[in-house]
Protein backbone atom coordinates (compact mmCIF):
# COMPACT_ATOMS: atom_id res chain seq x y z
CA UNK A 1 0.00 0.00 0.00
CA UNK A 2 1.44 3.43 -0.89
CA UNK A 3 1.10 6.59 1.13
CA UNK A 4 -1.40 7.89 -1.44
CA UNK A 5 -4.19 5.80 -0.01
CA UNK A 6 -7.92 6.37 0.13
CA UNK A 7 -8.60 7.40 3.70
CA UNK A 8 -11.94 7.75 5.50
CA UNK A 9 -12.19 9.56 8.82
CA UNK A 10 -15.20 9.02 11.07
CA UNK A 11 -15.87 12.19 13.08
CA UNK A 12 -14.89 15.70 11.99
CA UNK A 13 -14.08 17.00 15.48
CA UNK A 14 -10.85 18.08 17.13
CA UNK A 15 -8.97 14.88 16.25
CA UNK A 16 -10.79 13.90 13.04
CA UNK A 17 -10.12 17.15 11.19
CA UNK A 18 -6.44 17.09 12.25
CA UNK A 19 -5.95 13.46 11.16
CA UNK A 20 -7.60 14.33 7.83
CA UNK A 21 -5.10 17.17 7.46
CA UNK A 22 -2.10 14.87 8.03
CA UNK A 23 -3.19 12.39 5.35
CA UNK A 24 -4.23 15.06 2.85
CA UNK A 25 -0.80 16.73 3.23
CA UNK A 26 0.79 13.32 2.63
CA UNK A 27 -1.01 13.11 -0.72
CA UNK A 28 -3.94 10.88 0.20
CA UNK A 29 -7.54 11.41 -0.76
CA UNK A 30 -9.55 11.89 2.43
CA UNK A 31 -13.29 11.60 3.03
CA UNK A 32 -14.60 12.73 6.41
CA UNK A 33 -17.94 11.59 7.83
CA UNK A 34 -19.87 13.32 10.61
CA UNK A 35 -23.60 12.99 11.38
CA UNK A 36 -23.64 16.58 12.72
CA UNK A 37 -23.78 19.42 10.21
CA UNK A 38 -21.71 22.04 12.07
CA UNK A 39 -18.35 20.18 12.21
CA UNK A 40 -18.75 19.12 8.57
CA UNK A 41 -19.47 22.69 7.50
CA UNK A 42 -16.43 23.91 9.47
CA UNK A 43 -14.07 21.17 8.20
CA UNK A 44 -12.30 22.98 5.37
CA UNK A 45 -12.06 26.34 7.17
CA UNK A 46 -10.61 24.66 10.24
CA UNK A 47 -7.92 22.82 8.27
CA UNK A 48 -7.17 25.91 6.20
CA UNK A 49 -6.64 27.94 9.39
CA UNK A 50 -4.23 25.27 10.72
CA UNK A 51 -2.27 25.24 7.48
CA UNK A 52 -2.03 29.03 7.42
CA UNK A 53 -0.82 29.05 11.05
CA UNK A 54 1.83 26.52 10.05
CA UNK A 55 2.81 28.47 6.91
CA UNK A 56 2.01 25.39 4.86
CA UNK A 57 0.39 25.32 1.41
CA UNK A 58 -3.37 24.86 1.28
CA UNK A 59 -3.63 22.96 -2.01
CA UNK A 60 -4.28 19.70 -0.12
CA UNK A 61 -7.72 21.04 0.85
CA UNK A 62 -8.96 19.88 -2.54
CA UNK A 63 -8.14 16.26 -1.50
CA UNK A 64 -10.58 16.45 1.41
CA UNK A 65 -14.36 16.08 1.23
CA UNK A 66 -17.01 16.11 3.95
CA UNK A 67 -19.86 13.56 3.98
CA UNK A 68 -23.05 13.25 5.98
CA UNK A 69 -23.57 9.71 4.69
CA UNK A 70 -21.37 6.96 6.19
CA UNK A 71 -21.61 4.56 3.22
CA UNK A 72 -20.56 7.33 0.84
CA UNK A 73 -17.62 8.31 3.07
CA UNK A 74 -16.17 4.80 3.33
CA UNK A 75 -16.80 3.69 -0.27
CA UNK A 76 -13.44 2.71 -1.80
CA UNK A 77 -11.54 3.33 1.45
CA UNK A 78 -8.23 1.54 2.06
CA UNK A 79 -8.11 2.74 5.67
CA UNK A 80 -10.82 4.03 8.00
CA UNK A 81 -9.85 6.01 11.12
CA UNK A 82 -12.65 6.38 13.66
CA UNK A 83 -12.47 9.58 15.76
CA UNK A 84 -16.01 9.73 17.17
CA UNK A 85 -16.83 10.58 20.82
CA UNK A 86 -15.25 8.43 23.55
CA UNK A 87 -18.34 6.32 24.29
CA UNK A 88 -18.04 2.55 24.13
CA UNK A 89 -21.52 1.74 22.80
CA UNK A 90 -21.22 4.42 20.10
CA UNK A 91 -17.84 3.09 18.95
CA UNK A 92 -19.12 -0.48 18.99
CA UNK A 93 -22.05 0.45 16.77
CA UNK A 94 -19.81 2.48 14.41
CA UNK A 95 -17.46 -0.51 13.99
CA UNK A 96 -20.43 -2.79 13.28
CA UNK A 97 -21.55 -0.31 10.57
CA UNK A 98 -18.02 -0.05 9.19
CA UNK A 99 -17.69 -3.82 8.95
CA UNK A 100 -20.85 -3.82 6.82
CA UNK A 101 -20.27 -0.69 4.73
CA UNK A 102 -16.50 -0.38 4.16
CA UNK A 103 -14.73 -2.48 1.50
CA UNK A 104 -14.01 -5.96 2.88
CA UNK A 105 -10.24 -5.39 2.67
CA UNK A 106 -10.26 -1.94 4.29
CA UNK A 107 -8.32 -1.59 7.54
CA UNK A 108 -10.50 -0.23 10.38
CA UNK A 109 -8.78 1.75 13.17
CA UNK A 110 -10.10 3.43 16.32
CA UNK A 111 -8.59 6.56 17.87
CA UNK A 112 -9.98 5.77 21.31
CA UNK A 113 -7.89 7.39 24.05
CA UNK A 114 -8.06 4.61 26.60
CA UNK A 115 -10.56 1.85 25.70
CA UNK A 116 -9.10 -1.56 24.89
CA UNK A 117 -9.67 -2.12 21.18
CA UNK A 118 -10.89 -5.66 21.89
CA UNK A 119 -13.92 -4.27 23.77
CA UNK A 120 -14.87 -2.10 20.78
CA UNK A 121 -14.62 -4.84 18.14
CA UNK A 122 -15.86 -7.74 20.30
CA UNK A 123 -18.15 -10.11 18.40
CA UNK A 124 -17.40 -8.69 14.95
CA UNK A 125 -16.58 -11.16 12.18
CA UNK A 126 -13.51 -9.50 10.59
CA UNK A 127 -11.47 -8.52 13.65
CA UNK A 128 -8.22 -9.36 11.86
CA UNK A 129 -8.43 -5.97 10.07
CA UNK A 130 -9.31 -3.94 13.18
CA UNK A 131 -6.84 -2.19 15.48
CA UNK A 132 -6.19 0.97 17.46
CA UNK A 133 -4.26 4.00 16.25
CA UNK A 134 -3.99 6.42 19.13
CA UNK A 135 -3.04 9.89 17.88
CA UNK A 136 -2.22 12.90 20.07
CA UNK A 137 -3.60 16.40 19.90
CA UNK A 138 -2.94 18.26 17.66
CA UNK A 139 -2.39 15.32 15.29
CA UNK A 140 -0.54 17.47 12.77
CA UNK A 141 2.02 18.63 15.39
CA UNK A 142 2.49 15.74 17.81
CA UNK A 143 4.49 12.99 16.08
CA UNK A 144 3.44 9.90 18.06
CA UNK A 145 0.74 7.41 17.06
CA UNK A 146 0.37 4.29 19.24
CA UNK A 147 -0.58 1.30 17.07
CA UNK A 148 -2.46 -1.31 19.09
CA UNK A 149 -3.43 -4.71 17.77
CA UNK A 150 -5.75 -7.10 19.56
CA UNK A 151 -4.94 -10.83 19.73
CA UNK A 152 -7.13 -11.12 16.59
CA UNK A 153 -5.44 -8.38 14.52
CA UNK A 154 -3.40 -9.78 11.61
CA UNK A 155 0.31 -8.95 11.91
CA UNK A 156 0.43 -7.73 8.31
CA UNK A 157 -2.35 -5.22 9.11
CA UNK A 158 -0.32 -3.76 12.00
CA UNK A 159 2.76 -3.62 9.73
CA UNK A 160 0.79 -1.95 6.95
CA UNK A 161 -0.56 0.75 9.29
CA UNK A 162 2.91 1.38 10.77
CA UNK A 163 4.20 1.92 7.22
CA UNK A 164 1.30 4.19 6.25
CA UNK A 165 1.77 6.36 9.35
CA UNK A 166 5.54 6.62 8.91
CA UNK A 167 5.03 7.61 5.27
CA UNK A 168 2.69 10.37 6.45
CA UNK A 169 5.47 11.73 8.67
CA UNK A 170 4.25 10.31 11.99
CA UNK A 171 6.23 8.39 14.61
CA UNK A 172 4.26 5.14 15.01
CA UNK A 173 5.04 2.80 17.90
CA UNK A 174 3.76 -0.73 18.30
CA UNK A 175 1.96 -1.48 21.57
CA UNK A 176 2.21 -5.20 22.25
CA UNK A 177 -0.81 -5.59 24.56
CA UNK A 178 -4.30 -4.14 24.22
CA UNK A 179 -4.40 -2.65 27.75
CA UNK A 180 -6.61 0.30 28.90
CA UNK A 181 -4.77 3.58 28.24
CA UNK A 182 -2.12 1.83 26.08
CA UNK A 183 1.30 3.33 26.97
CA UNK A 184 1.04 7.13 26.70
CA UNK A 185 -2.15 7.67 28.65
CA UNK A 186 -1.14 5.23 31.39
CA UNK A 187 2.02 7.28 31.94
CA UNK A 188 0.25 10.61 31.61
CA UNK A 189 -2.57 9.73 34.00
CA UNK A 190 -0.24 8.16 36.57
CA UNK A 191 1.30 11.65 36.76
CA UNK A 192 -2.10 13.40 36.88
CA UNK A 193 -3.30 11.09 39.68
CA UNK A 194 -0.29 12.01 41.84
CA UNK A 195 -0.64 15.71 40.92
CA UNK A 196 -4.26 15.71 42.12
CA UNK A 197 -3.33 13.81 45.29
CA UNK A 198 -0.64 16.39 46.17
CA UNK A 199 -3.22 19.19 45.88
CA UNK A 200 -5.89 17.20 47.74
CA UNK A 201 -3.45 16.53 50.60
CA UNK A 202 -2.47 20.22 50.83
CA UNK A 203 1.17 19.64 49.90
CA UNK A 204 0.93 22.49 47.40
CA UNK A 205 -1.61 24.25 45.21
CA UNK A 206 -2.42 23.45 41.56
CA UNK A 207 -0.28 26.28 40.18
CA UNK A 208 2.71 24.96 42.13
CA UNK A 209 2.25 21.42 40.78
CA UNK A 210 2.26 22.77 37.25
CA UNK A 211 5.27 25.01 37.89
CA UNK A 212 7.26 22.14 39.43
CA UNK A 213 6.70 20.02 36.31
CA UNK A 214 7.23 22.81 33.76
CA UNK A 215 10.38 24.22 35.43
CA UNK A 216 12.07 20.88 36.17
CA UNK A 217 11.72 17.44 34.61
CA UNK A 218 9.14 18.68 32.09
CA UNK A 219 11.96 20.64 30.43
CA UNK A 220 13.91 17.44 29.82
CA UNK A 221 11.07 15.14 28.85
CA UNK A 222 11.11 15.86 25.12
CA UNK A 223 14.70 14.57 24.90
CA UNK A 224 15.01 12.32 27.95
CA UNK A 225 12.52 9.51 28.52
CA UNK A 226 11.96 8.23 32.07
CA UNK A 227 13.85 4.99 31.56
CA UNK A 228 16.76 6.72 29.83
CA UNK A 229 16.78 9.01 32.87
CA UNK A 230 16.78 6.02 35.24
CA UNK A 231 19.77 4.59 33.38
CA UNK A 232 21.59 7.94 33.51
CA UNK A 233 21.22 8.27 37.28
CA UNK A 234 21.66 4.52 37.77
CA UNK A 235 19.15 1.77 38.47
CA UNK A 236 20.64 1.43 42.00
CA UNK A 237 19.84 5.07 42.87
CA UNK A 238 16.42 4.61 41.28
CA UNK A 239 15.86 1.60 43.56
CA UNK A 240 16.87 3.59 46.67
CA UNK A 241 14.51 6.42 45.73
CA UNK A 242 11.65 4.00 45.06
CA UNK A 243 12.12 2.29 48.44
CA UNK A 244 11.45 5.60 50.16
CA UNK A 245 8.86 7.27 47.94
CA UNK A 246 6.75 4.56 46.31
CA UNK A 247 4.93 3.52 49.51
CA UNK A 248 3.69 7.13 49.75
CA UNK A 249 2.41 7.58 46.20
CA UNK A 250 -1.33 7.76 45.68
CA UNK A 251 -3.05 4.47 44.92
CA UNK A 252 -6.73 5.46 45.02
CA UNK A 253 -8.37 2.82 42.81
CA UNK A 254 -10.49 5.27 40.78
CA UNK A 255 -10.93 9.01 40.20
CA UNK A 256 -9.82 11.04 43.24
CA UNK A 257 -12.65 12.24 45.54
CA UNK A 258 -11.09 15.72 45.04
CA UNK A 259 -11.70 15.42 41.29
CA UNK A 260 -15.21 14.06 41.87
CA UNK A 261 -15.97 17.15 44.01
CA UNK A 262 -14.77 19.55 41.30
CA UNK A 263 -17.02 17.87 38.73
CA UNK A 264 -20.00 17.81 41.14
CA UNK A 265 -19.53 21.56 41.74
CA UNK A 266 -19.55 22.25 37.99
CA UNK A 267 -15.88 23.26 38.12
CA UNK A 268 -15.16 21.61 34.75
CA UNK A 269 -12.08 23.64 33.84
CA UNK A 270 -11.72 26.15 31.03
CA UNK A 271 -15.23 25.55 29.68
CA UNK A 272 -16.84 26.76 32.95
CA UNK A 273 -14.08 29.23 33.90
CA UNK A 274 -13.03 27.19 36.95
CA UNK A 275 -11.38 23.84 37.51
CA UNK A 276 -8.23 23.31 39.56
CA UNK A 277 -7.79 27.09 39.05
CA UNK A 278 -9.84 29.94 37.59
CA UNK A 279 -9.64 30.83 33.90
CA UNK A 280 -10.63 33.66 31.63
CA UNK A 281 -11.23 32.72 27.99
CA UNK A 282 -8.24 34.92 27.05
CA UNK A 283 -5.94 33.03 29.42
CA UNK A 284 -7.08 29.70 27.98
CA UNK A 285 -6.62 30.92 24.42
CA UNK A 286 -3.17 32.25 25.27
CA UNK A 287 -2.18 28.89 26.77
CA UNK A 288 -3.37 26.99 23.68
CA UNK A 289 -1.33 29.36 21.48
CA UNK A 290 1.77 28.84 23.61
CA UNK A 291 1.42 25.04 23.40
CA UNK A 292 0.97 25.24 19.62
CA UNK A 293 4.01 27.54 19.23
CA UNK A 294 6.14 25.29 21.47
CA UNK A 295 5.26 22.15 19.48
CA UNK A 296 5.98 23.96 16.23
CA UNK A 297 9.36 25.06 17.52
CA UNK A 298 10.26 21.50 18.55
CA UNK A 299 9.31 20.17 15.12
CA UNK A 300 11.31 22.91 13.38
CA UNK A 301 14.33 22.13 15.58
CA UNK A 302 14.04 18.42 14.71
CA UNK A 303 13.92 19.24 11.00
CA UNK A 304 17.11 21.28 11.41
CA UNK A 305 18.24 24.42 9.56
CA UNK A 306 17.83 22.88 6.09
CA UNK A 307 14.33 21.60 6.90
CA UNK A 308 11.48 22.85 4.84
CA UNK A 309 7.92 23.60 5.87
CA UNK A 310 6.79 22.58 2.47
CA UNK A 311 6.61 18.88 3.25
CA UNK A 312 3.72 17.01 4.72
CA UNK A 313 2.47 18.13 8.13
CA UNK A 314 3.29 15.04 10.11
CA UNK A 315 5.36 16.87 12.65
CA UNK A 316 8.62 15.03 12.11
CA UNK A 317 9.51 11.53 13.05
Rounded to whole angstroms, the Cα distance separating 183 from 189 reads 10
Q: Are 73 and 103 in contact (CB under 8 A)?
A: no
H or E element at residue 65: strand 64-67
- The 120-149 site mask, x for binding ligand NAD (CB under 6 A), equals ---------------xxx------------
Considering the rule CB under 6 A, would residue 20 count as an interface residue with ligand NAD?
Answer: no
Considering the rule CB under 6 A, would residue 199 count as an interface residue with ligand NAD?
Answer: no
Binding segment toward ligand NAD, per CB under 6 A, in 32-40, 199-207, 254-262, 272-280: 32-40
Buried b (16+ CB within 10 A) or exposed e, 92-127: bebbeebbebbeeebbbbbbbbebbbbebbeebebb
H or E element at residue 288: helix 281-303
Q: Known catalytic residue: 17?
A: no
**Nearest alpha-carbon partner for 139 in 292, 289, 298:** 292
108: left (phi over 0), alpha (psi -120 to 50) or beta: beta
Residue 138: cis peptide before it, omega within 30 degrees of 0: yes
**Secondary structure of residue 84 in the 3-state scheme:** coil
Interacting residue with ligand NAD among 12, 120, 157, 195 (CB under 6 A): 12
Binding segment toward ligand NAD, per CB under 6 A, in 105-113, 119-127, 217-225, 303-311: 105-113
Rounded to whole angstroms, the Cα distance separating 94 from 177 reads 23
Interacting residue with ligand NAD among 28, 50, 111, 313 (CB under 6 A): 111
**Nearest alpha-carbon partner for 171 in 133, 220, 221, 217:** 133
Using CB positions, name the residue nearest to ligand NAD: 13
Interacting residue with ligand NAD among 9, 24, 26, 34 (CB under 6 A): 34
Interacting residue with ligand NAD among 94, 98, 107, 108 (CB under 6 A): 94
Q: Known catalytic residue: 134?
A: yes
Interacting residue with ligand NAD among 1, 2, 36, 271 (CB under 6 A): 36
Q: Residue 51 gets which letter from DSSP?
A: H
Considering the rule CB under 6 A, would residue 116 count as an interface residue with ligand NAD?
Answer: no
CB of 137 to ligand NAD, least distance (A): 3
CB of 314 to ligand NAD, least distance (A): 16
Binding segment toward ligand NAD, per CB under 6 A, in 14-22, 149-157, 159-167, 231-239: 14-22
H or E element at residue 245: helix 235-245
Interacting residue with ligand NAD among 42, 75, 90, 173 (CB under 6 A): 90
Considering the rule CB under 6 A, would residue 11 count as an interface residue with ligand NAD?
Answer: yes
Q: Known catalytic residue: 110?
A: no
Considering the rule CB under 6 A, would residue 42 count as an interface residue with ligand NAD?
Answer: no
Rounded to whole angstroms, the Cα distance separating 198 from 314 reads 36
**Nearest alpha-carbon partner for 170 in 28, 13, 46:** 28
Catalytic residue among 28, 44, 146, 313: 146
Angle between helices 235-245 and 226-233 (to 10 degrees): 110
Annotated catalytic residues are 113, 134, 146, 185
Residues of this chain that interact with ligand NAD (CB under 6 A) are: 10-16, 33-36, 39, 83-86, 90, 94, 111-113, 135-137
Amino acid sequence: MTQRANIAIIGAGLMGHGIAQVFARAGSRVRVYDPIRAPLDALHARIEANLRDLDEPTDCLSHISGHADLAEAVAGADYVFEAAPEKLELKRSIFADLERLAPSDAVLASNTSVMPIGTIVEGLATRERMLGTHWWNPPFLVPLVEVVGTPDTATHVVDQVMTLLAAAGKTPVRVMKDVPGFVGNRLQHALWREAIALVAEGVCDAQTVDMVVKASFGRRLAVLGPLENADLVGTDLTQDIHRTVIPHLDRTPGPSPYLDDLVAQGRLGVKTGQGFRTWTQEEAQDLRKRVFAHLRKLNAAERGPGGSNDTHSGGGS
